[in-house]
Structure 1
Amino acid sequence: MCVTPSLPPAEPRKIIHLDMDAFYASVEQRDDPALRGRPLAVGGTRERGVVMAASYEARQYGVRSAMPASTARRLCPKLLFVPPRFEVYKEVSGQVREIMAEYTPLIEPVALDEAYLDVTHNLKHEPLASQVARDIRAAILARTQLTASAGISYNKFLAKLASDHRKPNGQYVIPPGRGLAFVEKLTVGQFHGIGPATAGRLHALGIFTGADLRAQPEAFLRQHFGKAGGYYHAIAHAEDHRPVQPDRQRKSVGAETTFAHDLHEQPELLAALLPVAAKVWSYCQRTGQSGRTLTLKVKFADFQQITRSRTLLASVPDEASLLRTCQDILTALLPLPKGVRLLGLSLSNLDGEAPPASPGGQLTLF
């Protein structure tokens, strides 16, 4: 992850990162009293499924989102699984968005359950961002019967960190002048934008905490991590000048499916792409948008993952073309060396975006 360089604002911003608490699971527990207080996972209803969200009762057993359902069941034998209801989640997300819009037009959604808000000059003329956050969280609870947590700070990076600091149903402020002290005590794995693999590489370089990261010259970090090194250098100094972008365009749309048993043969693999492509094209039909770059994801039985991408000269015109192109990409990979547990498809380079450079123009391995 890297941050596009931008100039610091003329005055300190007041940024809120709002995050709904265990959103999908909390909606299910709200709508079904029998589920309240019980360990619950959304998704993973099949043996080879994946947990999409876990209630706080389930998290006490170590159950987390993106965890294989079989692992979650092993950790919590009494875990209850419910299928996702995305239309309901979207409806509730819309209610939350309406509440936020009563306070500021500067809202940058990150997902259905989280968003950044710039309340420097808010519609309520409230000088304290912490009070705005309290009011928004109270309104969400009153209208949806769901709780939200909030982080408040002078930039997006710190606001995101702060929102995790008092979950669930709490909020935390990192005021100007306190960012460096907050960051230096964190482990690098707690930094937004640094995943387990990057954290391991940092550990190999003797960098374990925010203070260790801040001690490294930017040139050193860029030498080892490329452009991302500049981002790591900035956040180690609690710097993030990115504005809240209320009109941020969606960059891609995708879908994937995990199979009940490993797939090996060409006919079943090609057939498995049908519902995945249908989900992607359904989004295109709803929005009137299409794209030129198709990316196929293949996850093998041993969890090794590969992706292949193809960029076309024009946007995909229809579902048949979408399916045919992704089947062509898959066919070029056959025969596969081992069984496949998951196939995914994403469509990016959406209408209105400039196409990424691609050597040879057609096929790229990421």
Structure 2
Amino acid sequence: MVETGTSDDADEARGLRKVIHVDMDAFFASVEQRDEPELRGKAVAVGGDGPRGVVAAASYEARKFGVRSAMASVTARRLCPQLIFRRPRFDVYGRVSRQIREIFVDYTPLVEPLSLDEAYLDVTEDLKGIGSAIRIAQLIRARIKAETALTASAGVSYNKFLAKLASDQNKPDGLCVIRPGEGAQFVARLPVRRFHGIGPRGAEKMAMLGIETGADLASCDIHFLREHFGSQADYLYRAARGIDLRRVQANRARKSLGAERTLERDISSGPVLREVLERIIDITWERIGKAGAHGRTVTLKLKHADFSGLTRARSLDEPVSSRAMLAAVSHGLLDEVLPLAQPVRLVGLTLSALDEDSMPPDATAQRQVELPF
């Protein structure tokens, strides 16, 4: 276990909230390794092992070979011939997730799940009166390990953006703390690829503009960012300074579920786009299954090489009830835009008009308070 910044001194620092981001380590694959001891220490992927299969999760042993989630299974097998596949068991993952959630709510009612394997917790006022976000994160990780035989990594900070960055810093089985006043400095030394929402092509575009790190991004004024990154500019401007205005939202309803892929190269070929779309349909359908969601509106998103985009949507009279139904609607939407006027760099698919809504509202103001961290 690796921990950084965990000395819990009595100094009071100016901050906003006490936020923990807990992220289970290779959750699906780790559950499979836990339940099948012979898989421990081996390269394991959860997903379909067919020509159209997609990796939903990979063990750390598999990741050493370059195997990643959302990768085509045939590619994963080529990178790691000894890879062992297991079909997803979402009922089991759901039970373990609920067990972990019960641990969270022992400490705070403000729990915002992002998926089965990660969540934000606001412990500014914790139920046990512990007073230290760092100590609470340590206790939660210890309980998860004792009660589920799984490991979790955690990030502790004063907003959601920084807490999520921190939880990824010392994976697996790590804890990282970014104290009030340290956010901008922490972000400055990170490669921009670590920022949520910046994919390989976005990082490549930034590199062409001389932007490699958070410090480089912070040196750009808002007008420059809006000129080159459009609607993403305000997010980039705040992120480069360690600012996040969102609050932890407990029991949020979900507006949509979906997936998108930034392509390794720009594509205009209809048959190739259909192959890409099939993989995205697989990922989207798995996420729908995990969430137990029901929705009626399917939206296809394409982003061109020049970052312009287009969307096509279709609303149905009844909820999407099968993968085949989702695929038929999705390919129908793609038919509407083929042939393409220019190549695309990103393909995305979402299901919306759900029974529940989980997208966080954008906070418009933040209040600074004195908090011992």
> Shorter chain as normaliser: what TM range?
0.7 to 0.9
Please say if residues 298 and 329 of structure 2, whose CA atoms lie closer than 8 Å, have aligned partners that are also in contact.
no
Please say if residues 23 and 113 of structure 1, whose CA atoms lie closer than 8 Å, have aligned partners that are also in contact.
yes
Please say if residues 296 and 330 of structure 1, whose CA atoms lie closer than 8 Å, have aligned partners that are also in contact.
no
Identity %: 52
Q: Unmatched 5+ residue regions in structure 2?
A: 1-13, 261-269, 303-308, 340-346, 358-373
Are 1:138 and 2:145 counterparts? no
* 1:303 match: none
* 1:115 match: 119
* Residues 230-251 of structure 1, C-alpha deviations (whole Å, 9 max, x = no match): 1101011111121001132112
CA distance in 2, matches of 1:183, 1:240: 12
- Within-5 A mapping of 1:120-131: 120-131=124-135
* 1:66 match: 70
Q: Say if 1:82 and 1:285 are closer, same or farther in 2 by CA, change over 3 A.
A: closer
Match of 2:159 among 144, 151, 155: 155
Match of 1:77 among 55, 78, 81: 81
Match of 2:313 among 310, 313, 324: 310
C-alpha deviation, 1:344, in angstroms: 9.2
TM-score by length of 1: 0.75
Please say if residues 154 and 174 of structure 2, whose CA atoms lie closer than 8 Å, have aligned partners that are also in contact.
yes
* 1:247 match: 251
1:195 aligned partner, one-letter code: G
Number of residues of Structure 1 aligned to a counterpart in Structure 2? 315
- Within-5 A mapping of 1:233-312: 233-253=237-257, 290-291=295-296, 293-295=297-299, 309-312=312-315
Please say if residues 18 and 123 of structure 2, whose CA atoms lie closer than 8 Å, have aligned partners that are also in contact.
yes
Q: Say if 1:177 and 1:296 are closer, same or farther in 2 by CA, change over 3 A.
A: closer
Please say if residues 49 and 74 of structure 2, whose CA atoms lie closer than 8 Å, have aligned partners that are also in contact.
no
Are 1:28 and 2:32 counterparts? yes
* 1:49 match: 53
CA distance in 2, matches of 1:285, 1:75: 30
Q: Say if 1:335 and 1:33 are closer, same or farther in 2 by CA, change over 3 A.
A: same
* Residues 264-321 of structure 1, C-alpha deviations (whole Å, 9 max, x = no match): 8xxxx9xx9xx98xx69x969966x543x223589xxxxxxx9863344xx6335699
Q: Say if 1:150 and 1:110 are closer, same or farther in 2 by CA, change over 3 A.
A: same
TM-score by length of 2: 0.74
Q: Secondary structure at the match of 2:28?
A: helix
C-alpha deviation, 1:346, in angstroms: 4.1
Please say if residues 15 and 180 of structure 2, whose CA atoms lie closer than 8 Å, have aligned partners that are also in contact.
no
Q: Secondary structure at the match of 2:146?
A: helix
C-alpha deviation, 1:178, in angstroms: 1.2
1:43 aligned partner, one-letter code: G
* Residues 96-146 of structure 1, C-alpha deviations (whole Å, 9 max, x = no match): 111101111111111110011100101111111010001111111111110
Please say if residues 89 and 112 of structure 1, whose CA atoms lie closer than 8 Å, have aligned partners that are also in contact.
yes
Q: Which has the higher contact order (CA 8 A, sep 6+)?
A: 2
Are 1:201 and 2:205 counterparts? yes
CA distance in 2, matches of 1:148, 1:140: 7
Please say if residues 316 and 322 of structure 1, whose CA atoms lie closer than 8 Å, have aligned partners that are also in contact.
no
1:163 aligned partner, one-letter code: S
Please say if residues 211 and 236 of structure 1, whose CA atoms lie closer than 8 Å, have aligned partners that are also in contact.
yes
Q: Unmatched 5+ residue regions in structure 1?
A: 1-9, 257-262, 299-305, 338-342, 354-366
The CA RMSD over aligned residues, in Å, is: 3.7
* 2:43 match: 39
CA distance in 2, matches of 1:253, 1:240: 23
C-alpha deviation, 1:347, in angstroms: 2.5
Are 1:214 and 2:215 counterparts? no
**Highest CA radius of gyration, 1 or 2?**
1
C-alpha deviation, 1:335, in angstroms: 11
Please say if residues 110 and 250 of structure 2, whose CA atoms lie closer than 8 Å, have aligned partners that are also in contact.
yes
Please say if residues 62 and 75 of structure 1, whose CA atoms lie closer than 8 Å, have aligned partners that are also in contact.
yes
1:200 aligned partner, one-letter code: E
* 2:104 match: 100
Are 1:87 and 2:91 counterparts? yes
